Amino acid sequence: MGKRIKTIIVGIAGLLVGAWLMTIFTAQPQKAAFQWPVVQVAKRVAPSVVVVLNNRIEGNREQMKGMGSGVILNRQGDIVTNYHVVQGADSLTVILSNGRRFRARVVGVDPPTDLAVIRIHADNLVPIQFARSAHIEPGQLVVAIGNSLGLTHTVTVGVISAKDRVMYRDGWEYHLIQTDAAINPGNSGGPLVNDAGELIGINSSKIAQAGIEGIGFAIPSDTVQYVVTQLLHYGRVRRPWIGATLQPMPNRSLGMLVVAVTPGGPAARSGLKPGDMITSINGQPVHRLRDVIRVLERTAVGREIRVGVVRGSETLQVSLRLQESPPASKQQAS
């Protein structure tokens, strides 16, 4: 009898050991999978990503003519997307990650950055968290989420390939993040996030190079925050304007040459003249147009800037009060 009980105990112990070993070997791959940061990033970010439908009226019927993505900015229902996603729409529909549908209205658009803000009336929204795109580095892990080719909440993974790529399209200059994460039509307006699930860019397939694999572009989050703030406050982006056409000198270390001055504009009122050479703005040396733009982007319309000028043998300091840039059709100088 004792021998029989001993045999039973040994058998039960064997079953328990076997079950324990099976648990280890079957659970380990699952545990390892959930340690991959993209899984948690996708879960964290998904509620902040929406589908944006561009609807057009044809005859008496409303039809969906385009699809893109968007990112929830706040609990008030503001959503950022690409301008080309909403361009030409007769109406807009937003679909949340839980499937709820809402009509949206346009708050403001900014074609030069391909950004737009739209608004819905909904509750329990989950805003995305922003990170500074100025702090990103090439090689950093990134995740893109969007409605790629109509497939909602598609997740793609890559790295930052470059921090500040300058691209020209449709007459606009874009300063972009380059990534090898797949960005396809439908991804436009969706987020590019870091490994903490924080927004570092808004994807734009419009700016991508057709037929080229492994190269995608996103609008940096620092640009997105600046544009979004302007659109929410004014319905447009109020860009500062100096009212002068500038070009680099052959020797760029000298500064920027004033080629023309708009009559009645800020430069003309400050006394700047064609032939003057601008060497600095607010104490920052300027050698190319990008240097001028970088200073102006940090200065509000209506503020004064100090312009260092060389006129013949004279060195001058000129005070110039910035105006809002007029529509492109009315500008006679940059």
Closest C-alpha among 275, 286, 285, 288 to residue 314: 275
Q: Is residue 170 among the annotated active site residues?
A: no
Cβ atoms of residues 287 and 253 within 8 Å:
yes
For the range 230-234, what are the long-range contacts, defined as Cβ-Cβ under 8 Å and sequence gap of 24 or more? 230/108, 230/110, 231/107, 231/108, 231/109, 231/110, 231/115, 231/116, 231/117, 232/78, 232/107, 232/108, 232/117, 234/108
Report how far Cα 269 is from the mean position of its chain's Cα atoms.
36
Dihedral sign for Cα 10, 14, 15, 19, please.
positive
Beta-carbon contacts of 99 under 8 Å, excluding residues fewer than 6 positions away, are none
Task: Kindly name the residue from 78, 114, 276, 291 that is annotated as catalytic.
Answer: 114
Tell me the C-alpha to C-alpha distance, in Å, between residue 288 and each of 256, 272, 280, 292, 308: 6, 18, 11, 7, 14
SS3 3: helix
Clarify whether 84 is annotated catalytic. yes
Catalytic residue among 48, 84, 221, 222: 84
The answer to whether the CB of 243 falls within 8 A of the CB of 265 is: yes
Angle between helices 37-45 and 2-35 (to 10 degrees): 60
CA gap 231, 116 in Å, rounded: 8
Reduce the DSSP state of residue 15 to 3 states and report it.
Answer: helix
Catalytic residue among 69, 133, 161, 188: 188
Active site residue 110: no
The total of other beta-carbon atoms located within 10 Å of residue 194's CB is 22
Q: Which residues are catalytic?
A: 84, 114, 188
